[in-house]
């Protein structure tokens, strides 16, 4: 069972907190004067708190093989994990391996993928995936980043999802939630996902990269929303320079916190 987003004592401590410097001044939460050691210590404290807050964090795409996860991750672009999980059972049953995707009838495949949106482009990617895997990798999903990013529709983010969750190779998944939060945390000022990944990799132990990514994404979906973060109901408030950009009153902020069932619609 997952733990509550906040413990009552943390809620009380939030009441007494004043907005952080970045929130007060309307400036970037990244402080160039913060020493690398201080930033690392603060980041690791926040990472430990995230582990308690989101003890239920996990990959929300359903899969049993690396190929299934690869395809599901490609399909998750511009849609929700929940929608992909609705489509994937029929998809995986009809196309059990790379050979099946490579030889798929485009019309039939598009019909299966239609609920995920952008189904024509996704069908192209999935067919291309199957063909490339058959032609270059004997039908098997490669377990390394350089090969994965050569596949149709596969970028660094998708590759890290597959490596971390299907091959247990640590990787940071820099999606929109992840990038937004680590910038709000003041861990980086970078916008480019690769640069974000590089800087955050220096702050979090490598062995934790995969699960840490899930925790940050859970926090972004449930608590630290893009437009109205639930600052007054956030267990990271004591270490976050962006504290105060959302409602501070715990009761008001608490109403913004999404349940697990609601959060996976983002």
Domain boundaries in the chain? 8-58+172-263, 66-166
pLDDT of residue 4: 43
pLDDT of residue 28: 83
Of 1.25.40.80, 3.20.180.10, 1.10.340.30, 3.40.50.2300, which CATH number belongs to 66-166? 1.10.340.30
Helix (H) or strand (E) holding 252: helix 250-254
255 is an active site residue: no
Three-state DSSP state, 223:
coil
Q: Mean pLDDT, to the nearest integer, of 157-170?
A: 97
175 is an active site residue: yes
Least confident of 58-62, 138-142, 247-251, 258-262: 258-262
Q: Say which residues have a Cβ less than 8 Å from residue 135's Cβ, sequence separation at least 6.
A: none
pTM: 0.88
Angle at 100 between CA 99 and CA 106, to 5 degrees: 120
Q: Of 136, 148, 178, nearest to 73 (Cα)?
A: 148
- 8 Å CB contact between 10 and 254: no
pLDDT of residue 124: 95
Mind listing the pLDDT tens digit for each residue in 112-149?
Answer: 999 999 999 999 999 999 999 999 999 999 999 999 99
Q: Say which residues have a Cβ less than 8 Å from residue 141's Cβ, sequence separation at least 6.
A: 66, 67, 70, 133, 148, 162, 166
Mind listing the pLDDT tens digit for each residue in 15-30?
Answer: 556 777 677 667 789 9
Mind listing the pLDDT tens digit for each residue in 178-221?
Answer: 999 999 999 999 999 999 999 999 999 999 999 999 999 999 99
DSSP letters for 10-39: HHHHHHTPPPPHHHHHT--S--TTS-HHHH
Is it the case that residue 46 has pLDDT exceeding 90?
Answer: yes
User: How far are the Cα atoms of 104, 132, 175 from residue 263, in angstroms, in the given order?
Assistant: 33, 35, 15
User: How far are the Cα atoms of 90, 153, 198 from residue 191, in angstroms, in the given order?
Assistant: 37, 21, 12
**Reported confidence tier of residue 1, pLDDT bands at 50, 70, 90:** very low
Is it the case that residue 243 has pLDDT exceeding 70?
Answer: yes
Given 157, 192, 228, 255, the catalytic residue: 157
Given 97, 175, 258, 264, the catalytic residue: 175
pLDDT of residue 68: 98
Domain 8-58+172-263, what fold? Endonuclease Iii, domain 2 (1.10.1670)
pLDDT of residue 192: 97
Is it the case that residue 153 has pLDDT exceeding 70?
Answer: yes
> Which structure tokens are listed for 220?
């972004």
């Amino acid at each position: 069972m997952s733990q509550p987003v906040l413990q009552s004592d943390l809620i009380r401590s939030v009441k007494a907190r004043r907005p952080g410097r970045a929130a007060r001044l309307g400036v970037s939460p990244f402080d160039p004067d913060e020493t690398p050691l201080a930033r690392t210590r603060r980041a690791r404290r926040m990472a430990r708190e995230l582990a308690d807050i989101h003890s239920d964090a996990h990959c929300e795409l359903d899969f049993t093989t690396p190929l299934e996860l690869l395809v599901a991750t490609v399909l998750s672009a511009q849609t929700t994990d929940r929608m992909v999980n609705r489509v994937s059972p029929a998809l995986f049953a009809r196309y059990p391996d790379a050979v099946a995707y490579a030889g798929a009838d485009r019309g039939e495949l598009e019909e299966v993928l239609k609920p995920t949106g952008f189904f024509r482009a996704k069908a192209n990617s999935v067919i291309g995936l199957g063909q490339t895997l058959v032609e270059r990798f004997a039908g098997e999903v490669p377990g390394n980043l350089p090969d994965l990013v050569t596949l149709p529709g596969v970028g660094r983010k998708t590759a890290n999802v597959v490596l971390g969750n299907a091959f247990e190779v640590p990787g940071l998944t820099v999606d929109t939630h992840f990038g937004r939060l680590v910038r709000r945390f003041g861990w980086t000022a970078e916008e480019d996902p690769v640069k974000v990944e590089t800087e955050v990799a220096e702050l979090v132990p490598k062995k934790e990269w995969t699960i840490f990514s899930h925790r940050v994404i859970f926090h972004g979906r449930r608590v630290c929303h893009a437009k109205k973060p639930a600052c007054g109901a956030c267990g990271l408030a004591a270490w976050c320079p962006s504290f105060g950009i959302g409602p501070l009153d715990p009761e008001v902020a608490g109403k913004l916190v999404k349940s697990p069932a609601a959060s996976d619609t983002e």
